[in-house]
Amino acid sequence: MYQTIISPAEVTDLTADVLIFDCRHNLFQLGEGAENYTAAHLPGAYHLHMDADLSGEILLGKTGRHPLPDMDAFAAFISRFGLGAETQVVCYDDKGGGLAARLWWMLRVLNHEATAVLDGGIQAWEAEGLPLEAGYRDHPTASEGGVVAPHLARFAPHCTRDRAQIALLRNDPTHTVIDSRTVPRYLGEHEPIDPVAGHIGGAINLPWPDNLTNGKLKPRAELKTRFAKLKKDAQNNTFYCGSGVTACHNILAYTHAYGEMPLLYPGSWSDWITG
């Protein structure tokens, strides 16, 4: 069972009960991910759209840009693909796992432990000379998929923190709030997406791309050094980003290093500034 990352070679060694999801997405060209998937993707993979499949409804002035969907509904949706308790899920993108980690996190908090991000993404797959296929594979319909996979748990709110909780925790010496965006966005020097620049007061900055070397996750020892300044108890650390997507990559890296999952502020900066 692979629970954090998986290499292309390890994917090819999987013999049965595997689900592969392509999570490629472009914030500024919303159809690009599906277009790239249709042109070439890992054999047997399905495409999941960040907005339509991995996010809920945006309520102007009330939510961030990628609010979590109703997680019970998501559990029913993902079960349609034949997700069993032993199914190994592999999710990938073309951004070092920065997007695929969102699906990884959603499945892990629903109790599907056999979920891993393809280390190095589709680029690593291609670099190994492994095959790709073209075309769009339709999602199974509700009638084909049956009921929610029995092993999936109801979403546990203790995996996340909301805006009101962050307002308290950012000043709590027993807790650390971590901004996962790049340094210029954290400092408010460059904000290409959200209408307000800056960061949550009291938050430290650990940019998610620094988890990577040449597009692949750094070794555990290096990740432990990177996260050494955080609280020893994973539950005393909450990560956020712009909209709750790339913060999941920091959670992936932390979990890979320590075997425990810290918390996520799903709404993140785009939700914080609506308050």
Report the catalytic residues.
241
Phi-psi region of 158 (alpha: psi -120 to 50; beta: other; left: phi over 0): alpha
Total residues found in the chain within this entry: 275
Q: Which two structure tokens, joined as six digits, stand for 189?
A: 């020097």
Closest CA to 93 of 125, 62, 61: 125
- Say which DSSP state 234 is in: G
* CA pair distance 46, 172, nearest whole angstrom: 42
Q: Roughly how many angstroms between the first and final C-alpha of the chain, as a whole number?
A: 41
Q: Where are the alpha helices (DSSP H) in the chain?
A: 8-13, 32-39, 71-79, 100-109, 121-127, 142-145, 163-169, 183-187, 220-226, 247-258, 268-272
Q: Kindly state the greatest CA–CA separation across the chain.
A: 52
- Say which DSSP state 12 is in: H
Label the pairing between strands 237-240 and 263-264. Answer: parallel
- Say which DSSP state 116 is in: E
For residue 116, what are the β-bridge partners? 90
% helix, strand, coil for the chain, step of 5: 35, 15, 55
